[in-house]
Structure 1
Amino acid sequence: MEPLLGHGPSAGAGGLPRVGWQVEALPVLRALAADEPAVQKLEVAGSAAGDGRALDVWSDLDVLVTIDGDPAPVAERLALTVPAALGPLYASSRSGDDQEAGVRLVLADLRRIDLTVRTAGAVLYPPTMCGAPDLAGIAAAFRFDAVLAASKTARQDLLIGAHLALQLPRHLLVAAMVLRDQAAGTRHHRYGSTEWNVWPERLGAVAPPSNALSITASIRHHAHVLQDLLAVHAPDLAVDDDPLHRLLAAVDRSAERHSAPSARP
């Protein structure tokens, strides 16, 4: 089979994919799936399943492969044969369970192919809800990480404290994505409304955690953002953050004592 490398017929300007690469790649994927005896059918999903008007070079190619048997081995074989046929692999990720195996491939020219291999007759949740995190779980994880980040910083373990503090804005961005999905009624949308684009800027309004005082400042800032979010969208999930703020104040006092110059006799 003739490879479609990043510098071959699917490449556009600057070695990036060109418009229409999805249509070119689909017959290759169908041929590879046909070589698997367990495969019953291959379907195109996502934006590539329509009339093509919504496709651009950044649209991924979503393919659902239905098989008879265990999906994991088939997904792994496809994960090897697709780059061999379409071009070098740059990155990949995997997910799934005993009924469904997902492999997300990024080729060297930035074409993205998402392969879902599913057992025939698998009972699955609706795609708009499957695997979606909930605000209660996000808020609980946020508070746990916030307390742990502050506790590590109290011990002068700034490496772990900063690592955990950097998790907090990620929790908040996930919460914003959940709310955006709820407003849109789906997890599958190509563009988000601009009202949600203020979130990265808001979370960036505090200095990155680099020392004890900047770690506690980061924790404090993001805790306030979470409270504001819950007050508007889920007031029943709001809790009194006084324990966290007392801990942060104690860490600040300890950090200030450590950083203060020693008094001369």
Structure 2
Amino acid sequence: MTTPTAQGLPPVGWQHDALPLLRAWAAAEPHIRDLRVHGSAAEGAEGLDRWSDLDFVVTSSSAPQTLADDFAGLASSSLGPIYTSSRIDDEHSVGIRLVLRDLRRIDLTVRSATVREPAPAVPPRETREVLAELVNAYRFDAVLAAVKAARGDVLIGSHMALQLPRHLLVAAMVLRDRDTGTNHHRHGHTAWDSWAHRLAAAPQPYSPPAITAAIRFHTHVLHHLLAEQAPEAVGDEQPLLALLDAVDSAAA
């Protein structure tokens, strides 16, 4: 088994070193019908770097929840302590994502073999619909942030204002996915990163005037993003801007 680098990061190639342990576990489990490696680890060494996770899917004739718990225990005892994790359960499958203490990442999906008919495919949502929801959420949080600034509630006003760049970045992600035809992006350093770079100039929303300034800034950037990439999603932000004017005038 490879060991962490001097910097504490996992070494290149750790995924292939871990695979024999996973396959031995699957072979010893009578309820496991199949184990398949997915993602970059299945594509060959040329697709791997130390940041790649190890992603695999198991088909089980037993309860997926029990098998997922067993694997988490195996990973902790045989690969190293678990630093953090996430889990998603539904009736027929369990997905667990483990981050080990040395920062190796392992994703396991356990699916029930008793589900013979695949779930009906859900058609992808239209980009226009997704953007409309994002803009609506942006406006709602922006209005709440402005009202809290008007009342001098910097704590909640700051919290709500800090939601705005997140909505904006999600909109940029949706548009990038639309243009590239995928939501799987192994590397950055594309023109889309410029929308994140622009947010570095945003005012820090930790006072009432700074909260309204941050809302104006992010609303301006959102408008430019939509005008450039999705003109059909551009809306009228005059109600929000009028509210910001009123808040600023009351504080003057």
TM over 0.5: yes
Q: Give 1:139 deviation, angstroms.
A: 1.5
Q: What do residues 113-159 of structure 1 show as CA deviations (whole Å, max 9, x unaligned)?
A: 11122233442658x959x9922222121111111111222222111
Aligned residue type for 2:232: D
Gaps of 5+ in 1: 257-265
Mapping 1:58-207, distance limit 5 Å: 58-68=51-61, 70-120=63-113, 121=116, 122-123=118-119, 125=121, 134-207=130-203
Cα distance in 1, alignment partners of residues 215 and 94 from structure 2 = 37
Distance (whole Å) between structure 2 residues aligned to residue 124 and residue 65 of structure 1: 21
C-alpha distance in 2, partners of 1:111/1:104? 11
Whether the aligned pair in 2 keeps the contact of 1:62 and 1:113 (CA below 8 Å) is yes
- Structure 2's unaligned 5+ residue stretches are none
Residue equivalent to 2:25: 32
Structure 1 residues 71 and 252: CA distance shift in structure 2, 3 A: farther
Partner of 1:224: 220
Deviation of residue 213 (structure 1)?
A: 0.7
- Alignment partner, residue 260 of structure 1: none
Which amino acid in the other structure matches residue 247 of structure 1? L
2:201 is paired with a residue of what secondary structure?
Answer: coil
Deviates more, 1:115-124 or 1:227-236: 115-124
- Superposed displacement of residue 212, structure 1: 0.5
Pairwise CA RMSD of aligned residues? 2.4
Q: Give the 3-state SS of the residue equivalent to 1:15 in structure 2.
A: coil
- Secondary structure of the equivalent of 1:93? strand
CA contact (8 A) 2:149 2:209 kept: no
Alpha-carbon distance in structure 1 between the residues aligned to 2:251 and 2:99:
45
Distance 1:136 1:28 in 2: 47
Distance 1:36 1:175, change over 3 A: farther
Matched pairs, number: 247
CA distance in 2, matches of 1:187, 1:135: 15
Q: Distance in 1 between matches of 2:160 and 2:26?
A: 42
Question: Contact 1:67–1:118 at 8 Å: present in 2 too?
Answer: yes
1:54 shift after superposition: 1.2
